[in-house]
Structure 1
């Protein structure tokens, strides 16, 4: 039997040594914990197109394809789901992120990438740390 997995995109928006985090709220998944802007790839979208759309929707930042860099692919299992996750990086530049979906996010904050808060979603923490080590592929949650 051939497996198919949902795919998601994540943005590690950097400002020097800081990374933008958002506090999840009202989604039913890890509410109250911190993550980076993210979302599912929709039918007919490339990973880059999904990332640019999610960035616009979640943090009201317009990025161009040339603004982002694929940093890491993570094959993960968490909370009963298996995903293929694509983590991109971008520099903040002049962007002024703001909450674009107040029904899904209660707070935006900047944190030192080498001193992440304790309540970052574990799979997201794992990926951010892997990117910091220069890895381009990692696995999370497999025995």
Structure 2
């Protein structure tokens, strides 16, 4: 192999907690990025953990629910051309968890709402809306910001 350095992407995980036709959404606050907008339980990977393990951890950290890794179904991958650094988002869906979703990081989230896919908050982060609609339509992959 030559001495060239390969381009590397960051990864993020997103968890769609589904209760019937509703999904759990969190309103961001005091993070300095998209504050006031709605997203999903989400975050980055820690060193030495799998993507699925990161999803389990983030769901617990942000909502207090415990999810068995095998209960997470991979439903969408999004390649985002972010201004600072492109990244890959892995979206998982589950209807199975222990506990009641609660705001566990009140310093980062102002509100937790259960919303129907056809009634997402107007201030849903655009790539979150795109990924949710793609996942609901059975599209396993999409790109955001490459237009």
The question of a shared fold, defined as TM-score above 0.5 by the shorter chain, is answered with yes
Instruction: Give yes or no for the alignment of 1:66 onto 2:74.
Output: no
Superposed CA deviations along residues 33-53 of structure 1, whole A, max 9, x for unmatched, are 000000001111100110111
Other-structure match for 2:135: 131
The alignment's TM-score, normalised by the length of structure 2, stands at 0.92
Superposed CA deviations along residues 83-134 of structure 1, whole A, max 9, x for unmatched, are 1100000015664100111111111001111221110001111100100110
Instruction: Give yes or no for the alignment of 1:142 onto 2:146.
Output: yes
Please list, as runs of the form range in 1=range in 2, the aligned pairs for 1:1-143 lying within 5 A after superposition.
Answer: 2-91=6-95, 95-143=99-147
SS at match of 1:117: coil
Gaps of 5+ in 2: none
Preserved CA contact (<8 Å) 1:21 1:34: yes
The alignment's TM-score, normalised by the length of structure 1, stands at 0.94
SS at match of 2:115: strand
Asked which structure has the greater CA Rg, the reply is 2
Preserved CA contact (<8 Å) 1:21 1:36: yes
SS at match of 1:13: strand
Which runs of structure 1 show a deviation greater than 4 angstroms over 4 or more consecutive aligned residues? none
Following superposition, the deviation at residue 9 of structure 1 comes to 0.2
Paired with 1:73 and 1:51, the residues of 2 have a C-alpha distance of 13
Gaps of 5+ in 1: none
